[in-house]
Amino acid sequence: MFKQSRFISYGRYQRILVAAICIALASQINFQTYTSGFIITLAVLLLPIFLYFNRDLNPFQLTLAVAVASPIFRGVLLFISQDASANHIIQFTITDMAFYVCYGALYYLIYWRNGQRNNGYFFFTIVLCDYLSNLLEVSLLTGFSHYSYQLFQFLFMAALIRSLGSCSIAFVYHYFTLMLRDENHEQRYYHFVWVASAVKSDVYFMRKNISEIENVMKNAYLLNQQLQQDKVDEKQQDMALSIARDVHEIKKDYQNVIRGLGDYFDDDTSAPMQLADILKVTVNYIREAIKQRHQNIVIEVHNQVDLVVPNHYYVVSILSNLIFNSVDAMDDKANGLIRVTVADDNDQIIINVSDNGSGMDQETLAMIFEPGFTTKFDESTGVVYRGIGLSHVKIITQEQFDGDIQVASKPGQGTDFQVTLSKRRLTQEARS
């Protein structure tokens, strides 16, 4: 049998206890005014802050805990210091409790129970709670007599000043928290765009490879047919047929992966991006990678184009591969510089990615756009590093954006990639 849950969970009880202790301690910062026993304390500055950031708590629970902790704590200190008689200590304690109970009741009725919860309404409620609760406390201390216009003025000014202070602290802190949260969400979104770009590029080429897989399957099947006609050993016939079947299964698995990834990163579910944001996503991600590698490389971005790109994933892939190539070309260069420029040239957009890295000789330049060519490998392990590669970058540039890519480089001086993209294609949806 399930145990009945407690009315106040441990987390809530802990927050109420912390609030009661903090407010009880803050009540010791005070000054006496108007009549004996009536004090203006820092505690009432803290109470609205606790109420603001604990809106899930019933304010009765919080203010009752404060109504017990703060007045009793004050009474004990008065008794120890012998600053008041026993009757006065009891009177001060009771009126203090009345203040917090009244405050909690008003806050509950005016604000917490109401569905309208905004900062302006919260401030209005706090001023009213402070003013009326102070008025009740003074009335209890004076026997509901000796009222004056100056008293009402003083109590309202005290309530207004304390409410302004506490609400300002609460609102400013909440604002900065929201700013940090938005920045976190932005970073997560940028990371998602980066990952999605890598996946969509891979899916793009996986789709292109399906035809090659089908050719392998077809050739294996035709080989089986030829072996049957030539009456070759049945084992070889079965082997050819088995290869055709295995390749067919691989093709089905391949298609399932493409379908799953393609559906998840469907173009219909992605919002267009400003070209400036595409550059920001790419460059910020690579700057973080540079920090982790402890390289001394600066990336400069000069963008003169204001353009919305629906098919932004492929643009991120093109930029990231070119910039990472420049990063890899730096080796341990002391003052690495990568300059990314984007310019409008009538019907075309021209992107230049240049660096002052190691550069390439003519033999390497002639091979860099060939499928499978790479100069990136770990000498200690022999592992080859491959992104989508420059050959794939060229294919995306040509097929998706009716563009082209050119490269100029000199050994020891650096490399410059120039990508030309059709402006019309950049502002259209992706080609299948």
Which helix (H) or strand (E) element contains residue 32? strand 30-32
Q: How far is CA 244 from CA 156, 215, 235, in A?
A: 89, 10, 14
Q: Which fold has domain 12-147?
A: Arp2/3 complex 21 kDa subunit ARPC3 (1.10.1760)
Q: Residue 285 and residue 294: Cα distance in Å, rounded?
A: 14
pLDDT at 144 over 80: yes
Q: Return the top range by mean pLDDT from 124-138, 192-206, 284-298.
A: 124-138
Query: What percent of the chain is predicted at pLDDT more than 70?
Result: 77
> DSSP secondary-structure letter at 7?
S
Q: Quick one: pLDDT at residue 427? A: 85
In CATH terms, the fold of domain 273-427 is Heat Shock Protein 90 (3.30.565)
Return the sign of the alpha-carbon dihedral for residues 387, 392, 398, 401.
negative
DSSP state of 84: S
**Segments making up each domain of the chain, as ranges:** 12-147, 189-263, 273-427
Q: What's at 34, amino acid-wise?
A: Y
Which residue carries 């009456």 as its tokens?
A: 231
* Three-point CA angle 294, 299, 304, nearest 5°: 165
Q: Is 153 helix (H, G, I), strand (E, B) or coil?
A: helix
H-type helices in 82-148, by residue range?
A: 86-107, 119-142
CA-CA distances (angstroms) from residue 317 to 21, 313, 331? Answer: 56, 6, 22
CA distance 220 to 210: 15
pLDDT score at 5: 40
| pLDDT category of residue 35 using cuts at 50, 70 and 90 | low
Question: How are beta strands 336-345 and 297-303 bridged, if at all?
Answer: parallel
Confidence of residue 241 (pLDDT cuts 50, 70, 90): confident
Average pLDDT, the chain: 79
- pTM value? 0.52
Cα–Cα distance between 159 and 41 in angstroms, integer?
A: 11
Q: Extract the tokens encoding 318.
A: 């093109």
**Cβ contact 344:305 at 8 Å:** yes
The answer on pLDDT for 406 being more than 90 is: yes
Q: Would the CA dihedral through 382, 194, 328, 353 be positive or negative?
A: positive
39-43, 182-186, 244-248, 377-381: range with lowest mean pLDDT: 377-381
Angle of the 86-107 helix axis to the 119-142 helix axis, nearest 10: 150
**Helix (H/G/I), strand (E/B), else coil: 336:** strand
The larger pLDDT score, comparing residue 366 to residue 180, is at 366
Q: What is the pLDDT of residue 257?
A: 65
Cβ atoms 392, 403 nearer than 8 A: no
